[in-house]
Amino acid sequence: MARRKLIAGNWKMNGLFGEGTTLAKTLADRLASAGPVGFDMLICPPATLVRTVAGLAAGSPLLVGGQDCHAKEKGAHTGDVSAEMLADAGAGHVIVGHSERRQDHRESDAVVRAKAEAAHRAGLVAIVCVGETREERDAGRAEEIVARQVGGSLPEGADGANTVIAYEPVWAIGTGLTATAADVAGMHAHIRRELEGKVASPGEMRILYGGSVKPSNAGELMAIGDVDGALVGGASLVADDFWAIAETCR
């Protein structure tokens, strides 16, 4: 079965009400008027905008998600947002284990796994991020690190319907550097092999590439066999750029 491409935009800590709603409405209107496009488009705004953006996307094919969630359903966790809260606000997806969370908040594979389990509990699709640092790649440990993250971060019951993997080489995020096509093809094939025996129907799980994806390199990246879409950072904040990336998947 052919895997449908997913173009996901991670707005990170960007987007006030005015600019965020304008961007979301622009994308929702384009999708609604474009007819069958052959790809899924997802935007993950900051938690303050999820409900508003979900409302703007209603009636269009535009998908909405959160950028992180707590592992617990509720409780004394000041400042955190549960998966159930995201679902209640209209989200259908949530990113877990992004490299910035793993680095800045010292999130382990076990923490990421618990968050993915929470996403499934709330009926959300978990986008589980994995990826190596420059030092780990230079030391020849990239595949080892990513295999460990895949094995430790995917919860029991993960499958192509409730889970997406995003490979994001940490050294290519926000740096302007992009892994070569050979690097990406090799790692995505490695991840696909690692899914064998770990998930049901591993050939159905989408693996996104995330690492300075932009209109100028998206076509080459999206043409790679095991690349099933992109997790886009900065370019997702510009409607024309984000749309141009998605258009390479037609």
Catalytic annotation, residues: 98, 168
Distance CA 42, CA 92 (A): 9
Distances (CA, A) of 175 to 47, 107, 172, 181: 25, 22, 6, 17
CA dist 32 and 48 (Å) reads 24
Question: Residue 82: phi, psi to the nearest 5?
Answer: -85, 160
Cβ contact 221:209 at 8 Å? yes
Closest residue by Cα to residue 47 from 74, 72, 20: 20
* Cα gap 213→166, rounded to integer Å: 13
Retrieve residue 73's tokens. Answer: 């359903």
* Pair 64, 58: CB distance under 8 Å: no
Burial of residue 199, with CB atoms counted within 10 A of its CB: 0-12 exposed, 13-18 middle, 19 or more buried: buried
Adjacent-strand bridge partners of 65: 93
Return d(Cα 132, Cα 183) in angstroms, integer: 12
